[in-house]
Structure 1
Amino acid sequence: MRLLLVEDDDRVAAALSAVLARHGFDVVHARSGEEALRALLPDGGPPFAVVLLDLGLPDQDGFEVCSRIRRSTDTRVIMVTARADVRSRIHGLNLGADDYVVKPYDTGELLARIHAVSRRPPETRTAAGAAGDGVPGQVRLGPVAIELPTRQVAVDGAAVALTRKEFDLLALLAQRPGVVFRREQIISEVWRTSWEGTGRTLEVHVASLRAKLGLPTLIETVRGVGYRLVVPAVG
């Protein structure tokens, strides 16, 4: 099983890599978030089954790395960190981590968790290009076109100006049309914070998106849970 270990402490990485290798894992070590993301690119070699992700990285926070991984791949992510507080655990899981292990940990338990998440069936994602015409970096949802690299949105060919958070919210929901995103998950992903006191802000942004796009049924409210994007028919 191929595994990506994202850890900036070389001594910790060397010790853990040795243990994992003895248990049959092919370990690739990344020392930063950007190095990890490059290793996960499609041309970076055989796919990884699991990513072990430290949060205290030198170039960016591990939460951001997890978020970026989730935008492009279904590779299983286990956060392995000294951050033991409940808020960090919740935030990491809401961002899409499959498990959260606090240091120091028992090696046997970590191995069991790796095997457990690797056995889970992969999710079906409708990410960039999958819902449309196959153009890299572009999502087509009926009359809505989302250009991810340039952060531009158009409806029936007409450009629509969105704020940064409005675009992030739309792009998140567009990753998996028809799938319900929990409010807590959206807040963690778009606002990088926990749920407390942010619920009204989310509602305002959803209302603004509906109005600006001229598609009031594009984002459906699932009462008591969250929101999902409903692909409109091309008029």
Structure 2
Amino acid sequence: MADIHVLFVEDDDVIREATQLALERNGFTVTARPDGLQGLEAFRTDRPDIALLDVMVPGLDGVSLCRRIRDESTVPVIMLSARADSIDVVLGLEAGADDYVTKPFDGAVLVARIRAVLRRFGHAGGGSTTGSTAQGALLTFGELEIDTEGMEVRKGGVLVALTPTEMRLLLEFSAAPGTVLSRDRLLERVWEYGWGGDTRVVDVHVQRLRTKIGQDRIETVRGFGYKLKA
């Protein structure tokens, strides 16, 4: 995965320098900044392929920076938090982050998570059309239309802007309409977590997807998971 440019925003000098070295040893180009305002400037100037944002940075905190980035781009964002606190995690995900990593983290784990996110963004497709109301590459669910080749979604004929992670999630649902998909399955298929993970990532992304395609389009099946209305 050559020529991948990472924006890394972290105010702790030791963590920033050590992580930058670890990422560069793994072949990434890294722009590191100590605060959110400098991070936003670097994002706009350098247009990185992925952003790693610490939640608690001065100037412009990581959650606010994530929102600013998401207003301008669908570039993948991973939040870094010193604790697995529910508020930190949920705020970051609701702001548009695709994943999060808790500090202290192992460099190899961080690299694996970055590569997993980049694979998802590079290959947003992959959902089968078997069993759906497919016409070629077009899936139709009421007023919702999913173009699986053009990677476009329309609701009532109006284009819906989805991040690649949201698109991958919707494709998983649309490949098996009416079938309950567990959070663990979605973590494995969309986030590539082969070892389990934090199901809050799934819950927040489902809520974000609902606000875009319709609150009643994805049903919650308590104790089991979610399903797309066929």
Give 2:48's aligned amino acid.
F
Kindly indicate whether the alpha-carbon contact (under 8 Å) linking 2:5 and 2:29 is maintained by their aligned counterparts in 1.
yes
SS of alignment partner, residue 48 of structure 1: coil
Structure-1 separation of matches of 2:36 and 2:98: 18
Contact 2:81 2:102 in 1 (8 A): yes
Considering only aligned residues, what root-mean-square deviation do their CA atoms show, in Å? 3.1
Q: SS in structure 1 opposite 2:70?
A: helix
1:178 matched to 2:160? The reply is yes
Query: Is 1:9 matched up with 2:12?
Result: yes
Q: Report the CA distance shift for 1:33/1:123 in structure 2 as closer, same or farther (over 3 A).
A: farther
1:221: Cα distance to partner?
5.6
**Structure 1 CA distance, aligned partners of 2:31 and 2:55?**
17
Runs (4+) of structure 1 exceeding 3 A deviation are: 176-180, 219-222
**Alpha-carbon distance, 1:109 to partner:** 0.9
Calculate percent identity across the aligned residue pairs: 38
Distance between the aligned counterparts of 2:34 and 2:217, measured in 1? 41
Alignment partners' CA distance in 2, 1:5 and 1:112? 16
Match in the other structure for 1:66:
66
TM-score, normalised with respect to structure 2: 0.53
- Listed as ranges, the matches of 1:68-87 within 5 Å are 68-87=68-87
**TM-score (ref. length: structure 1):** 0.51
Per the TM alignment, residue 112 of structure 1 is displaced from its structure 2 partner at its CA by 0.3
- For the residue of structure 1 that corresponds to 2:120, the secondary structure is coil
Return 5+ residue gaps in structure 1 as ranges.
125-175, 183-218, 227-235
Q: Does 1:51 align with 2:51?
A: yes
Unaligned runs of 5+ in 2: 125-157, 167-211, 220-230
Name which one, 1 or 2, has greater alpha-carbon Rg.
Answer: 1
The within-5 A match list for 1:45-194 is: 45=46, 47-121=47-121, 177-178=159-160
Contact 1:77 1:98 in 2 (8 A): yes
Separation (CA, whole Å) in 2 of partners of 1:86 and 1:35:
27
The SS at the match of 2:51 is strand
Q: Which residue of 1 aligns with 2:216?
A: 223
CA distance in 2 between partners of 1:50 and 1:220 (Å): 26
How far off its partner does 1:14 sit? Answer: 0.8
